[in-house]
Structure 1
Amino acid sequence: MPASGSRPGVLVTRPEPGLSETLEAVSAAGWEAYASPALLITQHCLRVASPRFAACVLTSGQAVQAAQAALPLTCPLYAVGDRTAQRARAAGFAAVQSAQGDAEALAALIIRKQNPAEGSVLLLSGARQGMALAARLRQAGFTVVRRVAYSARPVRRIAPEVLQALQEGRINVCLFFSSESAAGWIAALPASCRAQATRTIAIAISQAAAAVLKAAGWAEIVVAKTPDARAMLAALGRPGITTD
């Protein structure tokens, strides 16, 4: 338990972009926020052969930078969730629609709103991601050009101040925003801190992330109602207040 008078701690494993805003939201909800990004993001220099696409599909906010560099700001964008859509609008894109969900919801939105006859679709994703989405869109008649906008690799070490907070019992909840980041963060966690970490409450963005955490020994895991940051924060709630 946290020391008397101190706020209970929440560990945020999300990388930028998104880490800073999540830390702010966690702090505003009454928690002590600890930053421990699980992944290191490398942006890719994007080359696209076609001069024009009917639309662009973003599976992550990490892909906004690549879209901005490769496309006119008038190009219609389909974003996996609200945060990604907000970043696209902030980058200057005028026509942005959010699927408010996951890749399945994103595919459904594009199939409902976009006509395959209007032209090819550029899908920007992370390395080793987006293949199933591209296949689903092609099955629906779309011509899809998939490009890797960024790659993510696990961190090799966790900051000493985070490890100390874990060992001293100052962290009560850990937030995990993907199965990949959960696995990477756990791999970087020293064995001496494993028992303390798995005694925290884990909030997972998906069942896939929850499965990684369960295999690592977490006893108490809460899965967000929808796979997005808003649902993660709703599951966290405020200190001393249990959310459904």
Structure 2
Amino acid sequence: MTPPGISRGVLVTRPEPGLSETLAAVSAAGWVPYASPALCITPHSLRALPSRFAACVLTSGQAVQAAQAALPSTCPVYAVGDRTAQRAQLAGFVGVQSAQGDAEALAALIIRTGTPASGPLLLLSGARQGMELASRLRQAGFRVVRRVAYTARPARQIAPDVLCALQVGEISHTLFFSSESAASWMAALPDASRGAVCRTTAIVISQAAAAVLEKAGWTHIIVARKPNAQAMLAALGVCTVDRA
């Protein structure tokens, strides 16, 4: 339920791919979405790879493009969540399993259903990401080849229309999809707008993201029940503000 008198604006800090679909979902729920990506994504071309992998491991939908360019569609895919799995399927991969969660859930799925003797795993992640997952899988006996599929750089500034909407109180909620994006977006935010944004309700994908915002002075934070976009949108709910 949306309290009476609350603004309808929702700030979405997710980069593409994912930003457009989230904006559409927020709008369909009756809110007014504002796009403000916290990260700028640069895809990477993969250097020479061994000829065969038992499976590809995707920690993000951002890595699907690199997988599509480097692997046959018949290569089995382990995806961190349902949206990443769907993107892999749309890219042509025919054997896709979703961990429906985070990196911990992804490791558990691979260990439960995979066999180290089947061959090496190709782990595709962002720069400076995926190391803990690779280590966990190696401890379980898997051979892991990790490659950087993209680089995520912090946004340098916040768009003027977003800052204006914050200052006049048009935004009531802010969505953060990772601790990295939360830290990056806050770093780009001018000090003059910090008070206004910290008065919005933050909906975050994890406790790690919540911790970043707590240090920044946020007063109302909701952690999604599951670490995925669907759970975050469920926490946002349907806007019942009078649109008149």
Specify the TM-score bucket, using the shorter chain as the normaliser: over 0.9
Match in the other structure for 1:150: 150
Task: State the identity %.
Answer: 74
Unaligned stretches of 5+ in structure 2?
none
User: Secondary structure of 2:129's match?
Assistant: coil
Matched residues in 1 for 2:189 and 2:224: separation? 24
- Within a 5 Å distance, the mapping from 1:77-156 to structure 2 comes to 77-156=77-156
Match in the other structure for 1:10: 10
Match in the other structure for 1:186: 186
User: Secondary structure of 2:125's match?
Assistant: strand
1:219 aligns with 2:219: yes
Aligned-partner residue type, residue 138 of structure 1: R
Matched residues in 2 for 1:24 and 1:7: separation? 18
Match in the other structure for 1:35: 35
Contact 2:7 2:169 survives alignment (8 Å)? no
User: Secondary structure of 2:133's match?
Assistant: helix
Matched residues in 2 for 1:186 and 1:151: separation? 19
Aligned-partner residue type, residue 224 of structure 1: A
User: Secondary structure of 2:92's match?
Assistant: coil
Contact 1:123 1:146 survives alignment (8 Å)? yes
Matched residues in 2 for 1:120 and 1:48: separation? 15
User: Secondary structure of 1:51's match?
Assistant: coil
Matched residues in 1 for 2:7 and 2:192: separation? 24
Contact 1:36 1:158 survives alignment (8 Å)? yes
Q: Which has the higher contact order (CA 8 A, sep 6+)?
A: 2
Aligned-partner residue type, residue 168 of structure 2: E
Match in the other structure for 1:50: 50
Contact 2:59 2:130 survives alignment (8 Å)? yes
Contact 1:58 1:123 survives alignment (8 Å)? yes
Contact 1:7 1:32 survives alignment (8 Å)? no
1:47 Cα deviation after fit: 1.6
Match in the other structure for 1:20: 20
Match in the other structure for 2:163: 163
Matched residues in 2 for 1:64 and 1:27: separation? 26
User: Secondary structure of 1:117's match?
Assistant: helix
Matched residues in 2 for 1:5 and 1:177: separation? 27
Contact 1:169 1:196 survives alignment (8 Å)? yes
Match in the other structure for 2:232: 232
When normalised by structure 2's length, the TM-score is 0.95
Match in the other structure for 1:61: 61
1:112 Cα deviation after fit: 1.0
Unaligned stretches of 5+ in structure 1?
none
1:239 Cα deviation after fit: 2.0
Matched residues in 2 for 1:227 and 1:6: separation? 26
| RMSD over equivalenced CA pairs, Å | 1.5
Matched residues in 2 for 1:95 and 1:128: separation? 27
Q: 1:140 to 1:198 in 2, by over 3 A?
A: same
Match in the other structure for 1:76: 76
Q: How many residues align?
A: 238
* More moved, 43-52 vs 133-142: 43-52
Aligned-partner residue type, residue 239 of structure 2: P
1:49 Cα deviation after fit: 2.6
Matched residues in 2 for 1:156 and 1:182: separation? 13
When normalised by structure 1's length, the TM-score is 0.95
- Off by >4 Å, runs of 4+ in structure 1: 4-7
Matched residues in 1 for 2:139 and 2:183: separation? 32
User: Secondary structure of 1:187's match?
Assistant: helix
